[in-house]
Amino acid sequence: MDVTPEGTAPAEPRAASIVLEGIRKRYPDGTEAVRELSLDIAAGELAVLIGPSGCGKSTVLRMVNRLIEPTGGRILLGGEDVTRVDPVRLRRRIGYVIQNVGLFPHQTVSANVATVPRLLGWPRERSRRRVDELLELVGLDPATFGRRYPHELSGGQRQRVGVARALAADPVVLLMDEPFSAVDPIARTRLQEEFLRLQAEVRKTIVLVTHDLDEAVRLGDRIAVLSEGGRLEQYDTPAAVLGAPATPFVREFVGADRGIRRLAVTPVTGETVEPLPETGVAGLPTMPLGGSAYDALGTLLSSAAERIVVTDGGRPVGVLSRTRLLELGDREG
Ligand SMILES: Nc1ncnc2c1ncn2[C@@H]1O[C@H](COP(=O)(O)OP(=O)(O)OP(=O)(O)O)[C@@H](O)[C@H]1O
């Protein structure tokens, strides 16, 4: 069964692995959108697909829920070949969130979120409890927002309703196509942060398509960089993609400022710090061990100090200079 017990969050978060085995898509006009792509996404992992416009990201995503039929290869969801499953049943196990959400304009927020539970024939009371729980989970007060219509919400709020709706029947997979790109940059960062908290709680397998490298680095457990024809250039952690681009294409794609971006995913460890100076550390800014090198650089630049003191349980264990931090950003691999 593909529903949760009695409207409560599942005790064991349910998620399925996704395996793409040499999938291909050739559109009827002859366009080879995806020539051959293989990718393994572990259950509970968030994989980001990124690449230039037209490289086939959306085509790949939509083949997973069979909005687009592959012309070759296999897609396994929790080990089951999706091409052998009834597409309608399949889509009830897969949440799908798109840019501008596609909420039903003449239905309230609650009714929108309850779409799939209704299709699954859940009793009203159970649906209602689930809807309230999900609205709370995405940070919208059910009493205030449940009765509103989509046009009475901000772009960011609509996007949250879209996420709640996608999670309603406890899908094993969530597919997200540019989910945050229609909202302004400040709202986007907040939505991304909230989304990370939500994912820590629900631990779904998520495939997210984006154009935005910062978003990919912030959200992805792993990033798949695609080039034209759905060719997989690299599939690795954000730190590896930024720090050790596998091909010239990836190197160019992640761009000249990747050193700075890389700092965001580089934690300050006992090995990266420099020894405490004999002159002492009085008056210098501090940061805890384990914080990001990016935050360290930000603090240094705003304090005009030459060094930042790294502490462990409040005790200074070393310092980092600007030069050292910039070296961390430049370092390969
Ligand atoms: N229905 C279709 N018929 C023919 N070609 C198509 C069709 N849909 C998409 N394409 C082509 O397939 C290729 C991949 O498109 P797709 O939308 O998957 O790329 P994308 O990487 O998601 O692009 P974007 O980032 O611009 O959204 C493009 O060249 C596109 O023009």
DSSP letter string, 214-255:
HHHHHH-SEEEEEEGGGEEEEEE-HHHHHHS-SSHHHHHHH-
Q: What is the 3-class SS of 154-193, one letter each residue?
A: CHHHHHHHHHHHHHCCCCCEEEEECCCCCCCHHHHHHHHH
Residue 12 CA to its chain's centroid (Å)? 21
Q: Pairing state of beta strands 46-50 and 72-77?
A: unpaired
Output the residue whose Cα is nearest ligand 1's atom 25: 53
**Pocket residues: Cβ below 6 A from ligand 1:** 27, 29, 31, 33, 53-59, 211
The answer to whether the CB of 175 falls within 8 A of the CB of 145 is no
Length of the chain: 333
Nearest-atom number in ligand 1 for the CA of 209 is 22
Share of residues in the chain with pLDDT > 90 (%): 44
pLDDT of residue 100: 67
Note the pLDDT tens digit of each residue in 74-90. Answer: 999 999 898 888 888 88
CA 228 – ligand 1 centroid, Å: 10
What distance in Å separates the CA atoms of residue 225 and residue 124, rounded to the nearest whole number? 43
The residues pairing with 37 across neighbouring beta strands, listed in sequence order, are: 23
CA 59 – ligand 1 centroid, Å: 6
Query: ipTM beyond 0.90?
Result: yes
Q: What value does the mean pLDDT take over residues 275-296? A: 88
CA 15-132-180 angle, to 5 degrees, is 60
Alpha-carbon separation of residue 310 from 53, 150, 239 (angstroms) = 42, 47, 22
Its pTM stands at: 0.76
Nearest-atom number in ligand 1 for the CA of 29 is 4
CA 17 – ligand 1 centroid, Å: 25
pLDDT of residue 12: 45
Output the residue whose Cα is nearest ligand 1's atom 16: 56
Q: Which residues contact 184 (CB under 8 A, 6 or more apart)?
A: 155
CA 299-303-305 angle, to 5 degrees, is 100
pLDDT bucket at 257, cuts 50 / 70 / 90: low
> Is the Cα dihedral 21, 163, 200, 184 positive or negative?
positive
| Residue 46, SS3 per DSSP | strand
Q: Which domains does the chain have, with CATH numbers?
A: 5-256 (3.40.50.300), 266-330 (3.10.580.10)
Note the pLDDT tens digit of each residue in 89-147. Answer: 888 889 888 876 678 889 999 999 998 888 778 899 999 998 998 898 888 999 999 99
Q: What is the DSSP letter of 55?
A: S
CA 66 – ligand 1 centroid, Å: 15
Nearest-atom number in ligand 1 for the CA of 178 is 27
Identify the helix (H) or strand (E) that includes residue 293. Answer: helix 293-303
